[in-house]
Amino acid sequence: AQSVAQPEDQVNVAEGNPLTVKCTYSVSGNPYLFWYVQYPNRGLQFLLKYITGDNLVKGSYGFEAEFNKSQTSFHLKKPSALVSDSALYFCAVRDMDSGAGSYQLTFGKGTKLSVIP
Amino acid sequence: DAGVIQSPRHEVTEMGQEVTLRCKPISGHDYLFWYRQTMMRGLELLIYFNNNVPIDDSGMPEDRFSAKMPNASFSTLKIQPSEPRDSAVYFCATRGSYNSPLHFGNGTRLTVT
């Protein structure tokens, strides 16, 4: 079974400060990891993904995430937060070794990010 | 591309009524997923299709829920009869190639009174 944990329900950060939204995962095989963002009354939007290669992944809107295999983590980061970054952020994982016939993307519970002006 | 289109955006109905949610996927996307989002349970995968064929419906909560994909450009999720605990936001999402990310619609907010 695969699972995702986002240990913080809410993260508050001052505008201009760096932000981190935490994510840890559990899969049997190799992980395929995503971050999505959800604005009010909208669907989830893709931010970035990790498959293989460089552990630091860069995505949309200046966000990046660092894959750490030993800690089974995939934390989302941004060097300087904007008020417009305030939204709900979801981490998701899929087991790459689950086979092409099975697709199961497991989402975390989400973390609400509030950037304070 | 208009993205994944869901209708209606909001649905308010009385307990016992039939509810039909609709989804138009992005053209060329072979996989279609129905998710439900609630505060208590987060995002739950209900069912997904590949090339219009249901692959995994293990997330469908009860027999009251059914989903169809009669062709590559349309899918429905039906609840009959509806109950207050079905109140949630229902999302349709699609993807193209095997390792590409999901594209979500803006959801249907269902309220069952």
pLDDT digits (tens, 9 = 90+) for B46-69: 999 999 999 989 899 889 999 999
From CA B40, how far away is CA B93, in angstroms rounded? Answer: 21
Q: CB B99 to CB A32 under 8 A?
A: yes
pLDDT tens per residue, range B64-94: 999 999 999 999 999 999 999 999 999 999 9
Nearest residue of B to residue A110, measured between CA atoms: B42
Token pair recorded at residue B104: 């979500």
Yes or no, beta carbons of B43 and A107 under 8 Å apart: yes
User: What is the average per-residue pLDDT within B7-18?
Assistant: 97
Query: What would the two tokens of residue A11 be?
Result: 């993260």
Give A 39-68 residues with CB within 8 A of chain B: 41-46, 49, 51
Rounded to an integer, what distance in angstroms lies between the CA atom of residue A47 and that of residue A45? 6
Closest to B44 measured CA to CA, from A31, A90, A13: A90
Residue type, B84: P
Q: Is the dihedral of CA A26, A27, A30, A32 positive or negative?
A: negative
C-beta atoms of B31 and A103 within 8 A: yes
Q: How confident is the model at residue A100 (pLDDT cuts 50, 70, 90)?
A: low
Chain B residues inside the 8 Å CB shell of A108: 42
CB B85 within 8 Å of CB B77:
no
Q: Assign 3-state DSSP to chain A and report helix, strand, coil percentages, each to 5.
A: 10, 50, 40
Q: Minimal Cα distance from B40: which residue of A?
A: A109
State yes or no: cis peptide before B25, omega within 30 of 0: no
**A42–B106 CB contact, under 8 Å:** yes
What is the token pair recorded at A31?
Answer: 């992980």
CA of B36: how far to CAs of A65, A84, A87, B14, B110, in Å? 26, 26, 19, 19, 10
Each residue of A25-40: b (16+ CB within 10 Å) or e?
A: bebeeebbbbbbbbee
Measured CA to CA, the distance from residue B92 to residue B82 in angstroms comes to: 19
Q: Searching chain B, which residue's CA lies closest to the CA of residue A88?
A: B42
pLDDT band at residue A105 using 50, 70 and 90 as cut-offs: confident
Contact A107 B91 (CB under 8 A): no
Which amino acid is residue A90, in one-letter code? F
CA distance B22 to A93: 27
Which tens digits make up the pLDDT trace of A3-50?
Answer: 999 999 999 999 999 999 999 999 988 899 999 999 998 999 999 999
